A and B are shown apart, each in its own frame.
Chain A
């Protein structure tokens, strides 16, 4: 039967392939939306690991996470080092890494922190940061690079870099009076860490000695660094601090205590909770797109059934000859149902190939835009379910023309 069917479909190749393409395109739409959403969510969720809380100024927790982890959005306020030191004294804390953000180098964000950043901050499934070259910075004139920065700007251990004040390069905004030497390059993580430059907080403070309100007042060349008092380079403020607790069970108590800190308005944000907040917003938009794609799939299925019904009249001769030679109405009905199956299967296989290509490119786009690279995959269980549903609805809707064929009297056809 299949060979008869395929030859029959080939004789109607143009309308059949157009319907197949429209079904395939609608599936590509649905799957791409789903995959990009999943990939983004996965990428975001894996961007930070091992951090129990982020301490920052009291503001929207989402804003704080986006700025400190993904380097997206508006800069938040700073918090004082005194506050950080107070928090550090708490007995439930295992470790604390302060960070200061704001500067950049050729478009890449600078993260000023302490060398223990590389020891405590993890990504993905609690994977530690490792070095492809060199080691973390130890001196205030040293810098460590994320893998993308080193690769794109062609830097390696020993390269000299200068930092720009703020995130956009413009005349007069360069800290051109002080250079940092690269001491190490991190391995690729698929997170925003790949696109960051790490400096010592003290080096960062030094850069800003001659600056007031975002303007350079005097150059570092005019001052004798050795005459600075030893605590002059201790930062007064930082952007936030990543915290690891001795026990995760104390997280809610810890965050409550932080909120009740009287000296300064700070809060402790749990990254996982802030991110799920983000997904509850993104999810709504996503649901809308999904609904739309399902509607388009339904329209394509209707088009397919319409095509099959419309073709029945042209295939009267073909069907009559089969019947006269002893084919049962069941055979003809099965042929019609199989036609929808063939169209559905071809569309699905095409969609898988196309979607894989689309996600492949979308993945690199996501990596460029957000610094996250979601894992690449062929097909998931959920997608198989979606295909099953589409195939089933295709077959079910082809029951209409199948019934029409089944009930058609051979005698009507003969005469």
Chain B
């Protein structure tokens, strides 16, 4: 589904990163590990189409990123990618269901896969181990763990092909991390979707099919 080829990124300060080749198929769970500053977020941004390609290629099914305008990349991201941030995943003035609904707001194809939005939100919230009352709780009163699960629900809504998660567990304690990963892996549809998570925490490797260590590649 996703394939990178000879990906390099040159920072303005002169730093250069050469990324390993990445290939992900549907159903695959990939962990990219490495210390901070090794270019994990940059790699995710490139795959998300949020950062312009400099050297190398990214192919997503039949789409070649280098031939796509930034507008097309935005649409591609809306249709095919769900994104979870490290922290601050939620829009503070929107309700929990509105925040989850943002996942399909900008994509017709993902919208068409969700015939009953409220029902699907309830299902996701439930499968991610959140209480139904969370839907009526103001976003700023949720715990960090709850917030990350709401963000996961958003990324999963409408079944995008690829879920990108940037250190989603870094703010969680080890117990919550375990629960979070269990539930996310449970809710994710391995027949249609793939997941790429970056983390400096190698202890979560057992949840994944394969691990790429950026630091090794660097050295």
- Which residues of chain A have a CB within 8 Å of any CB of chain B? 4, 7-8, 10-11, 317-318, 320-331, 409-411, 414-415
Contacts and interface: CB of A to CB of B under 8 A. Distances in A.
Nearest to A326: B78
Contacts of A318: 91-93
A98 B48 CA distance: 92
A326 B106 contact: yes
B83 A327 contact: no
Interface of B: 41-42, 44-45, 48, 50-51, 70-71, 74-75, 77-79, 81, 83, 85, 88-94, 98, 102-103, 105-107, 154, 166
Q: Which 4 A-B pairs have the closest CB atoms?
A: A326-B78, A11-B93, A326-B106, A410-B50
B88 A317 contact: yes
Nearest to A415: B41
A331 B103 CA distance: 15
Contacts of A329: 70, 74
A411 B42 CA distance: 8
B106 A411 contact: no
A325 B91 contact: no
B91 A411 contact: no
B93 A7 contact: yes
A87 B70 CA distance: 88
Given A321-B91, A329-B74, 14 more contacts: A320-B85, A321-B102, A323-B74, A324-B50, A325-B106, A326-B77, A326-B106, A327-B74, A328-B75, A329-B70, A331-B106, A409-B51, A410-B45, A410-B51
26 contacts: A7-B94, A7-B98, A11-B92, A11-B93, A318-B91, A318-B92, A318-B93, A320-B85, A321-B102, A323-B50, A324-B83, A325-B78, A325-B105, A326-B74, A326-B107, A327-B74, A327-B78, A328-B70, A328-B106, A329-B70, A410-B48, A410-B50, A411-B42, A411-B45, A411-B50, A415-B45
Contact of B71 (A321, A323, A328): A328
B129 to A, nearest CB: 23
Contacts of A331: 106
Nearest to A321: B91
Contacts of B51: 409-411
Nearest to B51: A411
B58 to A, nearest CB: 14
Contacts, number: 78
A331 B41 CA distance: 24
Nearest to A323: B50
Contacts of A325: 77-78, 83, 102-103, 105-106, 154
A323 B75 CA distance: 10
A414 B74 contact: no
Contacts of B94: 4, 7
Given A322-B102, A327-B74, A328-B71, A10 B42 contact: no
B90 A321 contact: yes
Contacts of A322: 102, 106
Nearest to A7: B93
B42 A330 contact: no
A411 B103 CA distance: 19
Contacts of A411: 42, 45, 50-51
Q: Which of B41, B48, B71, B79 counts the most A-chain CB atoms under 10 A from its CB?
A: B48
Contacts of B50: 323-324, 409-411, 414
A4 B42 CA distance: 29
Nearest to A325: B102
Nearest to A12: B93
B154 A317 contact: no
A172 to B, nearest CB: 77
Contact of A324 (B42, B48, B75, B98): B48
Q: Which of A322, A324, A328, A414 counts the most B-chain CB atoms under 10 A from its CB?
A: A324
Nearest to B92: A11
Q: Which of B41, B42, B105 counts the most A-chain CB atoms under 10 A from its CB?
A: B105
B101 to A, nearest CB: 10
A326 B79 contact: yes
Q: Which of A4, A10, A415 counts the most B-chain CB atoms under 10 A from its CB?
A: A415
Nearest to B157: A325
A411 B90 CA distance: 18
A335 B90 CA distance: 18
Contacts of A327: 74, 78, 105-106
A415 B106 CA distance: 22
B46 to A, nearest CB: 9
A8 B107 contact: no
A322 B107 CA distance: 12
A11 B94 CA distance: 9
Contact of A414 (B85, B90, B93, B103): B85
Nearest to A314: B92
B105 A10 contact: no
A410 B166 CA distance: 14
Contacts of A11: 92-93
Contacts of A317: 88, 91-92
Contacts of B89: 321
